Amino acid sequence: MSIASRRMSRIKASPAAMISARAMEMARAGRDVIALSAGEPDFDTPDPIKIAAIRAIVEGKTKYPPLTGIPELREAICRKLDRENGLRYAPDEVIVSNGGKQVVYNALAATLNPEDEVVVPAPFWMSYPDMTLLAGGTPVVAPADAANGFRLTPEQLERAITAKTKWLILNNPGNPSGAVYSAGDLAELAAVLRRHPHVWVLADDIYEHIVYGGGPFATMAQVAPDLYERTLTMNGLSKAYCMTGWRIGYGAGPKSLIAAMAKVQSQTTSGASSISQWAGVEALDGDQTFIRDNLAVFEERRDLAAAMLDQANGLSCRAPNGAFYLYVDCAGTVGKRTPDGGVIESDGDFAKYLLDAEEVAVVHGEAFGLSPYFRVSYALATNRLEEACRRIQRACASLSA
């Protein structure tokens, strides 16, 4: 008999983490695996940020931090939100947590009653539905169309909302789609939300700085200031600042929401690492030019991988405007035979075939709520990315009707 609670049977461990772990295991066994499955930049954390952390250690800033974050970091976050997003928050309307992930979980755990629904546009970041379930709510998946660049339309949002809806989670730019909502797109969604005053918005802006083509980034509280009082603006240092391991994320919203989230954090993890927080002050206040430099590298890789994958038999791939992922359509491989006689019946089968036949790890679309697709992360060295795309082309060419 399992010790796990009934609640555990409703959720699953992150498939991306599981696939990455399997790829690492294969690599340790001496196989030349290329993992396109991890959601983290390959770039190292910039030196000034590392030095700020070392300074914090040397200066003894190593005690329990304040629950919602050191004042210096919360003030730096307020400056950032004002400077980059035109958003005015006070430090007591901000919480610092152990990564963006904990911000999302705290918000859901602090607000969901058993009957509450959370609208999650698909394809979605895998944690949203499972975190909703873990917090006792019900995820309502609203599929977005590839033809609309995987952006949810106002009509699709309207259809997904019920009297029980508590939150809309809007991830912009999107993981895994790379979709970017413009200010105009957000204004249209805001018009729907105005008709439903009971619905809150969780704006997951963690890929904010990874937008191509010089396109301005927009977030809901900025586009629709009248929704300020029911918006949680969430962001973090993991992606743009190459700080995935430092575990710093933050949320900004109405004081009562932040206080409820702080309560969850107080009885689970307490404040985020004091050392990482001091590094975070340097990240937000220091030189930002590396963000632009990294973006140029990401853009080059995006174009390379999208073109190569679009040429593969049975695949179709467009280059999206944001994040560092491609969401590749593999409908043309479904029903085909692998060289050893198996039949590809789903995107899960295709991902397994890629790993077995060509030692390339990708995450299948089913994990993101929209099939048949797979996600490629192009946040890895360009030569390895090119080699991986070559292998995928070869795997596709080896399939027969």
Ligand X SMILES: Cc1ncc(COP(=O)(O)O)c(C=O)c1O
Query: What is the contact surface with ligand X in residues (CB under 6 A)?
Result: 39, 99-101, 125, 171, 175, 204, 206, 236, 238, 244, 249
* Phi, psi (degrees; rounded to nearest 5) at 221: -65, -25
Do strands 165-171 and 138-143 pair parallel, antiparallel, or not at all (unpaired)? unpaired
Least separation in angstroms between CB 102 and ligand X: 7
Cβ closest to ligand X, residue 40 vs residue 310: 40
Cβ closest to ligand X, residue 112 vs residue 206: 206
Q: Residue 374: in which H helix or E strand, if any? A: strand 373-377
Query: CB 273: neighbour CB atoms within 10 A?
Result: 18
Least separation in angstroms between CB 388 and ligand X: 20
Cβ closest to ligand X, residue 251 vs residue 372: 251
Least separation in angstroms between CB 241 and ligand X: 10
Least separation in angstroms between CB 133 and ligand X: 17
Least separation in angstroms between CB 321 and ligand X: 15
Q: Which residues pair with 122 in a beta bridge?
A: 143
Least separation in angstroms between CB 107 and ligand X: 12
CA-to-CA dists, residue 221 to 136, 189, 215, angstroms = 27, 12, 18
CA-to-CA dists, residue 22 to 275, 297, 359, angstroms = 31, 27, 11
Least separation in angstroms between CB 357 and ligand X: 27
Beta carbons of 121 and 204 less than 8 angstroms apart? no
* Rounded-to-integer distance, Cα 203 and Cα 148, Å: 20
Cβ closest to ligand X, residue 102 vs residue 333: 102
* Rounded-to-integer distance, Cα 20 and Cα 228, Å: 38
Cβ closest to ligand X, residue 149 vs residue 225: 149
Amino acid at 168: L
CA-to-CA dists, residue 105 to 99, 108, 383, angstroms = 10, 5, 37
Cβ closest to ligand X, residue 39 vs residue 139: 39
Name the DSSP class of 237.
Answer: S
Reading the block at residue 324, the tokens are 């560092």
Name the DSSP class of 226.
Answer: G
Number of Cα atoms under 13 Å in the Cβ half of residue 137: 27
Name the DSSP class of 379.
Answer: -
Cβ closest to ligand X, residue 228 vs residue 241: 241
Cβ closest to ligand X, residue 45 vs residue 338: 45
Least separation in angstroms between CB 280 and ligand X: 11
